[in-house]
């Protein structure tokens, strides 16, 4: 058996066998104080390290392949951080005030900044701490006169306190078999890059630097979340077999991406993609998605100034034209709760999740909303566009938007600007109010999109990011299942198409249940789509129907999950762990 088995969180699935190589010097920073006359020397060394690191980042930028060009912005931002006057000044002041070496000052100041980000509720913002920490580690290496671990041997498993996209780009293509880190999060830039490169990755391996040794053989199980140190022959034989089975499964999923997702009983479920900027278009083209079921528009607003109508039009038209004739569903501005633009931040709401968010914010600030709607109508002339309104709680909201769209169409007509005359308008069903009046909303909506993340949040009265109640976030809760049933039955009776675009679309248990409830389409991140289509093709429609009936009769969420698990285990056999690992949503 292995010398030790360490636990971690998989953020990029797979299995790898290789030799451990530490990216950074794992020895602790020397904590001895320095004499006051040595302060200037340490401060000068810090400046030289900053210059050296910026030069290293410039070389890395030159090596970024075109297909990963989006990471140039990330690396560029880290380069700016490496020469940030405020950061460097804080480190220099720490050296001068505490009379400590630059290494220790870097660690303390960087950790202080990371701590501020880790307190943020939004997981995406929390994981920005990783960017700061990664720069700090590289700065320390440059301070020592080296940037250690730049080109390990082929077949290595990269180990580090933390890594950044630049650390990936500095490696020779194909040299990395896996990555394991002490820090990091599932929505970090590095985790996202690892998934796109299909490099098995574990984060949160707390005992890594204390328990693991440079150069020792390891097995990275990024399906179950384990790192095996110095495995024996039995471990190696078992994992070689498991690795081959997983790789064959992956190949099988990807070879079928262009096939429809049709159950053995002939029921077809459309599988679409969630996107959030035009840089995601290459992933859309590769994954076999049949359209864009959810395009998140809010990210263009999270900057120093609001985007202009023309900027929004260029973004939306690029996306619409790229996937035409397939449809793209643009969700209108859905900031609020943990995603605040400046106009909302100024409101200082005590509970933003129940405040002026989604369609409420857009209707309160019509100048912002009109610019977005004009851009969307104009983009409709370049492709197949639909609009989706978030946080709907009543029919009056739908009617106000329809009236505004008609007014804007008249404006564009008078100006001689091309626009889409007939754009489908849908409502997000993500509040208890929307569920209870979905029959009335069906008369106002061309389609429904169920936002399961917020629906579960509001139905169960929990904050998923709250560690005290996060365990209650259960899509198998009978209230959630019955709400889904009510929405889909009503929509079917009224001839309204239903898409599920939340995390349930990439949960194999929930996806099986949704198929039985009669969902028309699911929309998920591109990386999940090959496995989603492969799973649906193995499901039996009548069996899913029977399962949904049994779950609907259950008042016990645990019993419901066991029912679904047992049914899937019989149907999928040894493949079930591959599905659960590959469908694992970041943050789960």
Dihedral angle of Cα 39, 44, 48, 53, to the nearest 10 degrees: 40
Residues assigned a catalytic role: 189, 501
CA distance 494 to 489: 9
pLDDT at 465: 60
- Long-range Cβ contacts of 486-492 (<8 Å, 24+ apart): 486/435, 486/438, 487/429, 487/435, 487/438, 487/448, 487/450, 488/517, 488/518, 488/519, 489/518, 490/438, 490/439, 490/442, 491/438, 491/442, 491/448, 492/518
- With CA atoms as reference, report the closest residue to 203 among 11, 23, 24, 26: 11
In the chain, CATH 3.20.20.60 covers 256-582
Q: In what order do the strands lie in the sheet with 156-160?
A: 4-7, 226-229, 217-221, 15-22, 156-160, 176-181, 201-203, 9-12
Tell me the CA distances in angstroms from 206 to 6, 94, 189, 289, 336, one per residue in order: 8, 28, 20, 37, 34
In the numeric block, the tokens 């709400």 are attached to 483
Q: What is the largest CA-CA distance in the chain?
A: 82
CA distance 61 to 298: 28
CA distance 181 to 8: 9
pTM of the model: 0.79
DSSP E strand stretches across 173-229: 176-181, 201-203, 217-221, 226-229
- List alpha helices for 257-364, DSSP H: 281-287, 309-323, 342-345, 359-364
Q: What are phi and psi of 158, to 5 degrees?
A: -80, 125
Helix (H, G, I), strand (E, B) or coil at 339: strand
Helices 557-572/508-517 angle, 10° precision = 90
Tell me the CA distances in angstroms from 456 to 230, 334, 470, one per residue in order: 43, 17, 11
pLDDT at 67: 66
pLDDT at 585: 47
CA distance 248 to 123: 33
pLDDT at 343: 52
Tell me the CA distances in angstroms from 357 to 179, 334, 337, 364, 449, one per residue in order: 38, 7, 7, 10, 17
CA distance 287 to 527: 7
pLDDT at 583: 77
- With CA atoms as reference, report the closest residue to 426 among 359, 502, 381: 359
> Structurally, what CATH architecture does the domain formed by 256-582 represent?
Alpha-Beta Barrel (3.20)
What does the block give as tokens for 74? 């990330």
Pairing between strand 425-429 and 497-500? unpaired
CA distance 328 to 170: 36
CA distance 409 to 419: 7
- List alpha helices for 326-476, DSSP H: 342-345, 359-364, 366-379, 395-415, 432-436, 438-441, 452-459
pLDDT at 260: 95
Other beta carbons within 10 angstroms of residue 308's beta carbon come to 11
Element (H, E) at 89: helix 85-98
pLDDT along the chain (588 residues), means of 10: 90 92 69 82 93 90 75 84 92 93 90 80 64 85 65 75 82 82 76 84 90 93 94 95 93 93 94 91 92 93 86 97 97 68 56 80 93 98 97 97 97 97 96 97 97 91 72 89 97 97 89 96 92 95 96 95 93 88 59
Cα 363-364-368 angle, rounded to 5 deg: 75
CA distance 242 to 253: 17
Query: Quick one: DSSP state of residue 278?
Result: G
Pairing between strand 9-12 and 4-7? unpaired
Cis peptide before 179 (omega within 30 of 0): no
Query: Quick one: DSSP state of residue 299?
Result: G
Q: For 4-247, which CATH class?
A: alpha beta
Instruction: Specify whether the CB–CB gap between 209 and 161 falls below 8 A.
Output: yes
DSSP string, 425-460: EEEEE-SHHHHHTHHHHTTT-SEEEE-HHHHHHHHT
pLDDT at 325: 96
Instruction: Specify whether the CB–CB gap between 554 and 563 falls below 8 A.
Output: yes
In the chain, CATH 3.50.30.10 covers 4-247
In the numeric block, the tokens 């999928």 are attached to 572
Q: What are phi and psi of 155, to 5 degrees?
A: 95, 10
Element (H, E) at 158: strand 156-160
Helices 508-517/478-494 angle, 10° precision = 40
* Number of alpha carbons in the 13 Å side-chain half-sphere of residue 141: 23
pLDDT at 73: 79
Other beta carbons within 10 angstroms of residue 147's beta carbon come to 19
């Amino acid at each position: 058996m292995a010398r030790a088995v360490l636990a971690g969180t998989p953020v990029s699935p797979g299995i790898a066998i290789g030799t451990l190589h530490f990216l950074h010097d794992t020895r602790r920073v020397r904590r001895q104080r320095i004499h006051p006359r040595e302060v200037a020397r340490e401060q000068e060394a810090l400046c030289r390290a900053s210059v050296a690191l910026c030069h290293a980042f410039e070389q890395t930028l030159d090596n970024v392949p075109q297909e990963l060009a989006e990471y140039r912005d990330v690396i560029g931002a880290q380069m700016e951080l490496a020469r940030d006057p405020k950061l460097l000044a804080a480190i220099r002041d720490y050296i001068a005030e505490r009379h400590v070496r630059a290494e220790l000052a870097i660690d303390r100041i960087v950790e202080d900044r990371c701590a501020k980000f880790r307190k943020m509720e939004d997981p995406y913002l929390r994981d920005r701490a990783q960017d700061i920490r990664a720069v700090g580690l590289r700065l320390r290496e440059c301070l020592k006169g080296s940037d250690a671990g730049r080109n390990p041997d082929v077949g290595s498993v990269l180990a580090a306190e933390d890594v950044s996209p630049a650390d990936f780009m500095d490696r020779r293509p194909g040299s990395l078999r896996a990555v394991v880190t002490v820090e990091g999060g599932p929505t970090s830039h590095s985790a996202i890059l690892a998934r796109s490169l299909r490099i098995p990755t574990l984060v949160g391996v707390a005992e890594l630097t204390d328990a693991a040794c440079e150069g020792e053989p390891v097995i990275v199980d990024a399906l179950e979340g384990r790192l095996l140190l110095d495995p024996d022959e039995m471990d190696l034989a078992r994992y070689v077999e498991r690795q081959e089975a997983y790789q064959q499964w992956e190949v099988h999923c990807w070879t079928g991406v262009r096939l429809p997702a049709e159950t053995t009983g002939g029921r077809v479920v459309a599988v679409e993609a969630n996107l959030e900027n035009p840089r995601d278009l290459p992933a859309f083209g590769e994954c076999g998605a049949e359209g864009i079921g959810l395009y998140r528009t809010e990210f263009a607003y999270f900057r120093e100034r609001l985007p202009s109508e023309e900027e929004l039009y260029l973004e939306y038209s690029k996306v619409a034209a790229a996937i035409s004739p397939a449809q793209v569903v643009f969700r209108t501005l859905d900031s609020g709760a943990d995603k605040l633009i400046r106009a909302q931040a100024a409101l200082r709401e005590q509970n933003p999740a129940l405040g002026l968010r989604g369609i409420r914010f857009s209707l309160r600030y019509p100048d912002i909303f009109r610019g977005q709607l004009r851009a969307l109508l104009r983009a409709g002339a370049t492709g197949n566009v639909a609009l989706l309104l978030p946080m709907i709680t009543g029919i009056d909201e739908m009617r106000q938007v329809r009236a505004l769209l008609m007014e804007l169409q008249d404006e564009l007509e008078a100006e001689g600007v091309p626009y889409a005359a007939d754009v489908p308008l849908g409502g997000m069903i993500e509040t208890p109010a929307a569920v209870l009046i979905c029959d009335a909303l069906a008369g106002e909506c061309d389609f429904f999109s169920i936002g399961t993340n917020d629906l579960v949040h509001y139905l169960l009265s929990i904050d998923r990011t709250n560690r005290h109640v996060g365990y209650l976030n259960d899509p198998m809760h009978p209230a959630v299942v019955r709400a889904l049933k009510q929405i889909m039955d009503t929509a079917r009776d009224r001839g309204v198409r239903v898409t599920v675009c939340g995390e349930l679309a990439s949960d194999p248990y929930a996806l099986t249940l949704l198929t039985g409830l009669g969902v028309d389409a699911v929309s998920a991140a591109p990386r999940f789509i090959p496995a989603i289509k492969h799973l649906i093709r193995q499901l039996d429609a009548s069996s899913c129907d029977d399962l949904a009936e049994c779950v609907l009769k259950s008042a016990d969420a645990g019993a419901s999950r066991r029912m679904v698990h047992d049914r899937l285990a019989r149907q999928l056999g040894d493949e079930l762990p591959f599905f659960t690992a590959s469908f694992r949503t970041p943050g789960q």
